[in-house]
Chains A and B, each alone.
Chain A
Amino acid sequence: MLKNILFIGWAVFTALPAFAATDSGKTHLITLKAARLDSGQLAYQMLSHKIRDESGSEQNVTGRYAKEPSIPGPAIVMTEGDKAEVTLVHGIEGSNDPVSIHVHGVHYKIDSDGTMKILNKVADEAAFPGKPYTYKWTAAPGTAGAWPYHDHTFGNPKLGAEDKGLYGTLIVNPKSGQIPALIDGKIQQVDLKDIKREFILWMHETTFWGMEVNNIVNRQVPLWTNPTLGAREGELVRFHVIGLGTAFHTFHLHAHRWIQPGTTHILDTFNVGPIQRESFVVKAGEGVGPGHWHYHCHVLQHMQSGMMGAFMVVGSK
């Protein structure tokens, strides 16, 4: 019986010619390190990111990342059709605990699950001191979106240490290069290349942890806790909001509206549970102009704990 299932699975896998056709030929060669911060929290750090194309030539894009570990970790940006080989280096001083990367959204085989053998029945898929581990991801068609990646082993072989800061964001852009958005009061397709800034906000217990992916200068800026997000009036900016931990949140941004992906529903608030995520595009200050537009979780106790920040829209140049 088992043999039959395996055989059918193999047949289906090998009979997918469409897969090859959608392969961009690009492979992201990434080395990340898991490190300990002075605060005792843990964080991922980008050591190297090169993109190899079909011809075998490599472009080094490491310069787009912060030079230090950060919470959230580096934002890895891929496009549908891309592949990635992500090597994790154990850099948590004073600990021999395995540390891993478990990614959401994209395709990978069981040996890239980022879990321990007690869960995956195959292997301890984690980095140990002096023994890096490499994960292989495929951003197959249908995987576009913002996805979490996080540790699944450190300190607890079933849970991992995402709660202590070992998490980051994977953004997979659609191959079409376009996404729907509510702009100037109409739902329309916008070109990804017109998006100037991407604001990543992780909602962890009662704190926002932020990261800006700035597409103007092609650079990432760790924004730490409850930051001020800055944009110019009229710019297209994309938000990626992701939950973490145990709490359920209602994300709200003042004076802006957007569409619920895949629908025509217009929102200015949505629910976010642990590891749930939502991305949306707004035109900064559309119809309302410049200002310090508040963003926050709308759960009262979370607001009392300071779960808030500003979307600062400044006048256009």
Chain B
Amino acid sequence: MNAYKIKPVAGAIIMALASTTAGANTDDAILSVPGLMPSATLEMTDHPGLWFKDPVDGDALVVIKPGQAVQIKMSEETRSQHTITSLLWPVGAKDFPVDQDKPSDASITKGLDKPGLYVFTCKVHPYMFGAVIVDDPATEGLDIGTELNLVTGAKVPADSDIAKKLLRTFFVVTTPSLWRDYRKPTWDVSLPDIPLNIKGQTISLNALSMSMPNKLLTPKTPGVGEVWVDTQFEMIEGKKKPGTATRIDAADWKLVNKVKGVKEEMNHPHNMWPDKTYQHIYQTQWFDKRLLTFERASGKVTSNIEVGESPSHVLTRPEDDKLYVAINGGEQVVKMTGGAAPSAIKSINTGPNSSPHGHYITESGKYMVTPNALSGSVSVVDLDSETNTIIPTGGVIPIAVWGTPDGQRAYAANLLGTPPMLSSLTVIDIPGKKKLSDINLAADYDPVSGKITGEAYGLLPIQTPVSPDGKYVVTANTLSASITIVDTATNKVIKSLPCEAGCHGVHFGMKKGGGYYAYVASKFANDLIVVDMDKLEIAGRVLLADSKDTSILAHNGMGGQGVLPLPLVEHGYLKETLKLSGKKQLSPDVEKWLQALTKSQKGI
């Protein structure tokens, strides 16, 4: 992204017109008016970081002049459907925002008149970012603009803290060399010296650079069992599509192995769940259409079948071990048989344009709750009758939900808040099938000055599980790179902890001797954060990279998303596994884990 990125004046439209209006055209024979000719292109791919790729130089930013047009289109380099959606654009831009109700194989060509920064995303995979800068050559520096519109309806000055955060995040997200690699002593976000014009002032992009030390930390108290993390961006020799599932032994925090799915072209493994024996792990492939199943112990793949567009999360129902797979690119959850080779039983509709993402099943097995990313609602499905109640929440991109152990309340994270709230959790009464309230996750943050006056500082929340004792909601916030902890007694943010760029997946695991850890994975860093839930403090940062594995070609340990600690902490699920203990149905290692649990952890 520098001066060479500025496209030559698009002469072709003018020339096309000139060639027809000159000469023989005195009789005004050509009446057609050409449409826009793209001067730049962003091609949507599933390459980590380059989800909107400029075919000219391979990055995710194009620069055009006012009056020129950009084409944004799907390419054959993505195996899933997307939306082309404006995330932010200069206030006053004509015919904005761009959006569609549903993901599809869309292509658009958009003329852009107003100078400034335009960022596009996909609502199904909302960290896919591409940007267009419309730069007026008459002004000094690349034009970012004066005031920016966010998709939520908010307008923020271009020099505000939130605008700068988004700008820096854009470069980090789309530039894999800027991701935080804990194998190096420091994390350096070195941005080039390119002059930017923000509200008429010229500043260098370099001013957004930063550096901080990388320090891993081994938790003093071991955990019980193992922690699986979807390292969704790792590039592996022998396959084109990214992603592995990384296994960490909670007893010594060592990396055990990675399941790579080379033969199967496992594509963006996003979220996992086990059967009740912990023999099989079900693995969604989010930028694809397939669900993969592998043996936990050996990593051997036993099934890889199509289930629908962009399957995001998978859960079982405790009582019968059936699978429920959220079809994020569709409007359904697919119910399947479990085991080595799951097969579809039926499809449960979650509502028009719902795009369910990170769902939840109550421990009683009575209800399933889905956050409907594209329809601003939460569905409560009665799993016996399979009837669906849609609760409009006003949330923008509700992306993940989890509930209290008693199955009474659910907390849904709204990635883009509940306008005018920038960032929020919606509280749902599950049996009452109604919305109770919104929790402002960023109440203590001033988006203009950037001043933080308290603990409530969480921007772009994603996974949001409730602790097994029902006391806390732990939320991974991807933009603020923070973990917020909400007290369920008051529904207030009581704590904010530092996370990483692209903070994303959270789930709880057993701490040895009693209590729980929250494990937090981040997309643009290769550590797993361990939060001690007794102290609400960070107890460790564990490396997800494996430098000795030469088959990892790029993004080693990066792309942390779904987290699956075993044994499961949810008592409703755990009791089904405990029932099998001592009956030769569980492997010796699982038996050992169960023996290590306290009564309270077992839910006795």
The interface of chain A, by Cβ under 8 A from chain B, is 37-41, 66-68, 70, 156, 159, 163-164, 197, 199, 204-208, 210, 212, 214, 216-219, 221-232, 245-247, 300-302, 304-306, 309, 312, 314
From residue B595, how far is it (CB to closest CB) to chain A in Å? 53
Q: How far is the CA of A312 from the CA of B32 in the complex (A)?
A: 8
Is A68 touching B40 in the complex (CB atoms < 8 A)?
no
From residue A236, how far is it (CB to closest CB) to chain B in Å? 15
Closest A residue, CB atoms, query B28? A317
Query: Does B54 reach chain A (CB closer than 8 Å)?
Result: yes
Partner among A70, A212, A246, A300 whose Cβ is within 8 Å of the Cβ of B30: A212
Is A68 touching B15 in the complex (CB atoms < 8 A)?
yes
> Which residues in B have their C-beta under 8 angstroms from that of A159?
76
Closest B residue, CB atoms, query A196? B29
Query: Does B104 reach chain A (CB closer than 8 Å)?
Result: yes
Q: How far is the CA of A314 from the CA of B69 in the complex (A)?
A: 28
The interface of chain B, by Cβ under 8 A from chain A, is 7-8, 10, 12-13, 15-16, 19-20, 24-25, 27, 29-41, 54-56, 69, 71, 73-76, 84, 99-102, 104-109
Is A204 touching B32 in the complex (CB atoms < 8 A)?
no
Q: How far is the CA of A294 from the CA of B300 in the complex (A)?
A: 56
Is B41 touching A223 in the complex (CB atoms < 8 A)?
no
Q: How far is the CA of A68 from the CA of B10 in the complex (A)?
A: 12
From residue B241, how far is it (CB to closest CB) to chain A in Å? 16
Closest B residue, CB atoms, query A227? B35
> Which residues in B have their C-beta under 8 angstroms from that of A227?
32-35
Pairs across A and B, CB under 8 Å, 5 listed: A39-B40, A41-B55, A205-B74, A207-B109, A305-B108
Given contacts A38-B7, A205-B73, A214-B30, contact A226 B109 (CB under 8 A): yes
Q: How far is the CA of A258 from the CA of B20 in the complex (A)?
A: 29
Q: How far is the CA of A92 from the CA of B56 in the complex (A)?
A: 12
Is B31 touching A314 in the complex (CB atoms < 8 A)?
yes
> Which residues in A have their C-beta under 8 angstroms from that of B40?
38-40
Is B39 touching A38 in the complex (CB atoms < 8 A)?
yes
Is A226 touching B41 in the complex (CB atoms < 8 A)?
no
Given contacts A224-B36, A225-B36, A247-B104, contact A230 B41 (CB under 8 A): no
Q: How far is the CA of A304 from the CA of B35 in the complex (A)?
A: 17
Is A305 touching B100 in the complex (CB atoms < 8 A)?
yes
Is B32 touching A229 in the complex (CB atoms < 8 A)?
yes
Q: How far is the CA of A218 from the CA of B54 in the complex (A)?
A: 37
Q: How far is the CA of A222 from the CA of B12 in the complex (A)?
A: 9
Partner among B24, B27, B37, B106 whose Cβ is within 8 Å of the Cβ of A205: B106
> Which residues in A have their C-beta under 8 angstroms from that of B69?
225
Is B39 touching A222 in the complex (CB atoms < 8 A)?
no
> Which residues in A have their C-beta under 8 angstroms from that of B8?
38
Is A206 touching B108 in the complex (CB atoms < 8 A)?
yes
Q: How far is the CA of A223 from the CA of B39 in the complex (A)?
A: 14
> Which residues in A have their C-beta under 8 angstroms from that of B27?
216-217
From residue B460, how far is it (CB to closest CB) to chain A in Å? 25
From residue B117, how far is it (CB to closest CB) to chain A in Å? 20
Is A41 touching B71 in the complex (CB atoms < 8 A)?
yes
Partner among A68, A199, A230, A304 whose Cβ is within 8 Å of the Cβ of B101: A304
Q: How far is the CA of A218 from the CA of B73 in the complex (A)?
A: 33
